[in-house]
A and B are shown apart, each in its own frame.
Chain A
Amino acid sequence: MMELEKEQAVVNLVKEAFEDAEADVQRARRVRIKIAPNRVFPLVAFLKANGFNHFVTITAVDWIKDGEIELIYHLWSYTRKVHVMVKTRIPRDGGKMPTLKPLFNQAETYERDVHEFFGVYFEGNEKLDRDFILEDWDGPPPMRKDFDTRRFAAEFYGQEDIESDLLKLKIQPYKGKLMQ
């Protein structure tokens, strides 16, 4: 296939250097690579050295039946015009990933995002435990599949049965000093 030449070149490049990686062409301009979690850092470093210098984002998928969370690192090359997705799976509970901050500074922010919404722990990311998007969130990571969003929204924001809830709450007049 002539039109997938540049994609196949990336696949061959990765397969040569990393024998344990599964790489294939998904469609035009898009390549997927599956690899073990501890090999992600060397692979991304290798890709960065080979023209993939735009680290786009990190996304995650919760595979609840397999008990795993899939992390997907998106990289783009302006010279090769190819989008690479590096996929890896870590255990859902207690799974850890090494941070990619030494390679790309912006990875720190994306990792904080994934940490807050999926509860993935990134080793070596110093800002991980700071509040990011969900401030004062005491609950489970909300993007995991076992988080019951509808029930939570109804209970937390008093959405359903609101009239009876209002009747239950006694309105007490404020006795202290009023704000000026």
Chain B
Amino acid sequence: MAKERPPKGLKGWAQGRSLWILQFCTGCGAVELPPVMTSRYDMERFGITPMATPRQADLLLITGYLTVKTLKRVIRSYEQMGEPKYVIGFGSCTVNGGMYWDSYNTIKRLDLYLPVDLYIAGCMPRPEAIIEAFNRLIEGIKQGKFNGWIRYKENLRWYKRNQAMIMDIRKWSIDKKLAEEVWREVQEERRKIFEQATVPHVYEYAERISEVG
């Protein structure tokens, strides 16, 4: 079987000019979308429009931080989307955790769990930045540059392993057999991390404050 390639040329142009967004708004970046949608910035002039179901959508916007609980639903939605599909990560939370860098339940790097095609910097990005990202995405799709879903399929085991580290993927994956296998593989590592977190560790606040100064 020939290696799968993203559409380009005429097909890519057509694909890039009719991107439908999956409305899965997480975090605070969703607030930036209404101005992008409405008359001021009007994303529909690029053929981009919101869509309610994952099976009809091409574009998944991760608009901010993701807790583990939300990530499960995001992965389920992403796997349901038809190909070709693209992912845009909004803001610093998807890049390195942003202001949630030391939180126990938000992910720090989105591209460990989902193939991200484009990141938009900022906390949160302005609508101009979002429009710029859309333009680049459309241009890139036309040239066949973005191949997130192909990377996801080719490295599925790697993605599943990363996902299994933070969640019980047996309940949240379409491929049950692989999920079971990967889940067993990471058990030892998970157990060790959870065990180390239970080490009695008393913060002496007065001392810590004097350390910081």
Contacts and interface: CB of A to CB of B under 8 A. Distances in A.
Contacts, number: 105
Interface in B141-190: 153-158, 161-162, 165-168, 174-175, 177-178, 190
Given A136-B167, A147-B197, A174 B154 contact: yes
Contacts of A134: 69, 105
A15 to B, nearest CB: 34
B108 A179 contact: no
Contact of B167 (A135, A140, A142, A172): A135
A138 B191 contact: yes
B109 to A, nearest CB: 7
A109 B154 CA distance: 43
A172 B157 contact: yes
Given A156-B193, A174-B156, A179-B153, A149 B104 contact: yes
A140 B194 contact: yes
Nearest to A139: B194
Nearest to B107: A157
A175 to B, nearest CB: 8
B69 A135 contact: yes
A153 B103 contact: yes
Nearest to B159: A174
Main DSSP-derived SS at the A contact region? loop
A150 B197 CA distance: 10
Question: On chain A, which size bracket covers the interface?
Answer: 20 to 34
A179 B199 contact: no
Contacts of B167: 135-136
Contact of A150 (B69, B102, B108): B102
Contacts of B156: 174, 178-179
Given A153-B108, A157-B107, A159-B101, A136 B157 contact: no
Contacts of B203: 145
Given A153-B103, A174-B156, A135 B168 contact: yes
Interface string B93-132: 0001100011111111100100000000000000000000
A153 B102 contact: yes
A169 B158 contact: yes
Contacts of A173: 154-155, 157
Given A136-B168, A158-B108, A178-B153, A64 B202 contact: yes
B165 A156 contact: yes
Nearest to A141: B198
A178 B197 CA distance: 37
Given A151-B196, A174-B157, A142 B79 contact: no
A172 B104 CA distance: 29
Contact of A174 (B79, B105, B153, B165): B153
Interface of B: 68-69, 72, 79, 96-97, 101-109, 112, 153-158, 161-162, 165-168, 174-175, 177-178, 190-191, 193-194, 196-203
Given A138-B191, A148-B201, A153-B104, 20 more contacts: A135-B167, A135-B168, A136-B168, A138-B194, A139-B194, A147-B104, A147-B197, A148-B196, A148-B199, A151-B196, A151-B197, A152-B104, A157-B166, A162-B109, A169-B158, A172-B155, A174-B155, A174-B156, A174-B157, A179-B153
